[in-house]
């Protein structure tokens, strides 16, 4: 028996089918790319409504399963953009009713964490979750995923996206800045914004755009932005490791696709005698497989929802979600 998961929190509509031991049987995704500027929630939601039915069909077909093989239908309940969340939740409720299978709500952030954790094979690692809307250093403790440090303003991915659009590019900014940064040579002075265990990015955004207005070139700006912000993330991750007495780190979220971030965290962790793991990129970005896997964990622990109680929660926080499958 397998679990089907639906992701639709922001720009990506995705359906995944997952079996035992987080075996990803299929993953069908379609990302909304605005022609210019940032994401408009309602336009992204319209995109998701259009593509989700055929993504469900594709996911079932390439997994080689029929609706009768599906054990439960999981969906991302939050956090995310309200209209986008509602698109995925509506499809999940409909499938749950049509197939007569339990409906399992999943927290999107916990899903990024759980897919990275199971693939790492590490029992209790520290987690650096770096994505569009979120930037958190997370450790499990006393029945919850605890946020030890996080962004005080925007997520690092949103920072990279806004910056790239400000430099004349289009969404998504992270991969484009990574490519541009490879041609950069000069480290330009930018604010280094670490506040205890937390970080902030909006001042760096303003400072980078100001340097650009004064004539700094894009490769050097990209190179400097990556060096500065990924150092900040590496620093708070190292401090959390020291405080928690852990030695291993797992990366998750779309920005964890970045080779430079992976390299910096790996160097830091290995210098402390630990190991660093990052999932394949298709499972770092938003994807239905992580929702299916976490849905499977939740379902096996007895967490299901009636349709009536399955309202989306756009501001649901990582540290407020019950995780009864972790009984350590
Ligand atoms: P969340 O809801 O978890 O905050 P999200 O919905 O924004 O996340 P993700 O797919 O987890 O979505 O992350 C998308 C972000 O990842 C975008 O901001 C994108 O620019 C960034 N990103 C993707 N690839 C890279 C890369 N190679 N380097 C840096 N950033 C990247
Ligand atoms: Fe995400």
What sections of 34-123 are H helices per DSSP? 41-63, 82-99, 108-120
Q: Is the CB of 133 under 6 A from ligand 1?
A: yes
36 — pLDDT class (breaks 50, 70, 90): confident
Q: Is the CB of 175 under 6 A from ligand 1?
A: yes
pLDDT digits (tens, 9 = 90+) for 147-160: 999 999 999 999 99
Look over the chain and give the mean of its residue pLDDT values, rounded to a whole number: 96
CA 64 to CA 60: how far, in whole Å? 6
Q: Is the CB of 67 under 6 A from ligand 1?
A: no
pLDDT digits (tens, 9 = 90+) for 268-290: 999 999 999 999 999 999 999 99
Planar angle of CA 284, 286, 291, nearest 5 degrees: 100
The answer to whether residues 79 and 9 touch, using CB atoms and an 8 Å cutoff, is yes
Nearest CA to 76 out of 15, 133, 126, 119 is that of 15
The answer to whether residues 228 and 160 touch, using CB atoms and an 8 Å cutoff, is no
pLDDT digits (tens, 9 = 90+) for 183-192: 999 999 999 9
CA 73 to CA 5: how far, in whole Å? 6
Ligand 1 atom at minimum distance from 155 CA: 4
In this prediction, residues 32-59 reach a mean pLDDT of 94
Q: Is the CB of 30 under 6 A from ligand 1?
A: no
pLDDT at position 328 over 80: no
Q: What percent of the chain has pLDDT over 90?
A: 95
Give DSSP secondary structure letters for 24-50.
EEEEEEEE---SSSS--HHHHHHHHHH
pLDDT digits (tens, 9 = 90+) for 208-242: 999 999 999 999 999 999 999 999 999 999 999 99
Ligand 1 pocket mutation pick from 79, 156, 174 by most atoms within 8 angstroms of CB: 174
CA 59 to CA 55: how far, in whole Å? 6
37 — pLDDT class (breaks 50, 70, 90): confident
Cα–Cα distances in Å, from 261 out to 17, 183, 214, 227, 248? Answer: 29, 17, 28, 9, 16
Give the bridge partners for 26, in sequence order: 17
Ligand nearest to the backbone CA of 134 = 1
Question: What single DSSP character describes residue 281?
Answer: H
Give the bridge partners for 75, in sequence order: 6, 105
Give DSSP secondary structure letters for 194-262.
EETTEE--HHHHHHHHHHHHTT--HHHHHHHHHHHHHHHHHHHHHHHHHHHT---EEEESGGGG-HHHH
pLDDT digits (tens, 9 = 90+) for 93-135: 999 999 999 999 999 999 999 999 999 999 899 999 999 999 9
Order of strands across the sheet with 70-78? 24-31, 12-18, 2-7, 70-78, 103-107
The answer to whether residues 146 and 319 touch, using CB atoms and an 8 Å cutoff, is yes
In this prediction, residues 85-92 reach a mean pLDDT of 98
Residue 253 Rama label (left phi>0; alpha psi -120 to 50; beta): left
Q: Which helix (H) or strand (E) holds 325?
A: none
Q: What is the pLDDT of residue 14?
A: 98
The answer to whether residues 109 and 132 touch, using CB atoms and an 8 Å cutoff, is no
Q: What percent of the chain has pLDDT over 70?
A: 100
Give DSSP secondary structure letters for 165-188.
HHTT--S-HHHHHHHHHTT-----
**Residues 206-238, buried b or exposed e (16+ Cβ, 10 A)?**
ebbbebbeeebbbbbbbbbbbbbbbebbbbbbb
Query: Atom 13 in ligand 1: which residue has the minimum CA distance?
Result: 254
Ligand 1 atom at minimum distance from 157 CA: 18
Q: Which helix (H) or strand (E) holds 265?
A: helix 259-271
């Amino acid at each position: 028996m397998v679990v089907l998961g639906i992701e639709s929190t922001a720009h990506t509509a995705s359906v995944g089918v997952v079996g035992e031991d987080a075996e990803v049987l299929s993953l069908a995704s379609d990302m909304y790319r605005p022609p210019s500027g940032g994401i408009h929630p309602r336009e992204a939601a319209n995109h998701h409504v259009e593509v989700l039915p055929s993504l469900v069909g594709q996911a079932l077909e390439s997994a080689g399963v029929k609706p009768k093989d599906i054990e439960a239908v999981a969906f991302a309940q939050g956090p995310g953009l309200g209209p986008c969340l509602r698109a995925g939740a509506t499809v999940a409720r409909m499938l749950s009713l049509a197939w007569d299978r339990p409906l399992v709500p999943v927290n999107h952030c916990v899903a990024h964490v759980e897919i990275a954790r199971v693939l790492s094979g590490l029992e209790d690692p520290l987690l650096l979750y770096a994505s569009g809307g979120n930037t958190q250093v997370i450790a499990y403790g006393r029945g919850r995923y605890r946020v030890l440090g996080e962004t005080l303003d925007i997520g690092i991915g949103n920072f990279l996206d806004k910056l790239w659009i400000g430099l004349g590019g289009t969404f998504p900014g992270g991969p484009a800045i990574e490519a541009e940064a490879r041609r950069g040579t000069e480290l330009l002075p930018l604010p280094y914004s670490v506040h205890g265990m937390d970080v902030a990015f909006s001042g760096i955004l303003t400072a980078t755009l100001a340097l650009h207005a004064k004539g700094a070139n894009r490769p050097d700006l990209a190179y400097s932005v990556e060096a500065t912000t990924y150092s900040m993330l590496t620093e708070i991750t190292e401090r959390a490791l020291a405080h928690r007495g852990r030695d291993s780190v797992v990366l998750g979220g779309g920005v964890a696709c970045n080779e430079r971030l992976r390299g910096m965290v790996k160097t830091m962790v290995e210098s402390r005698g630990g190991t660093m793991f990052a999932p394949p990129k298709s499972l770092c970005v938003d994807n239905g497989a992580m929702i299916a896997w976490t849905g499977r964990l939740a379902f096996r622990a007895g967490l299901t929802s009636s349709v009536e109680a399955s309202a989306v929660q756009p501001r649901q926080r990582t540290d407020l979600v019950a995780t009864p499958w972790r009984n350590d």
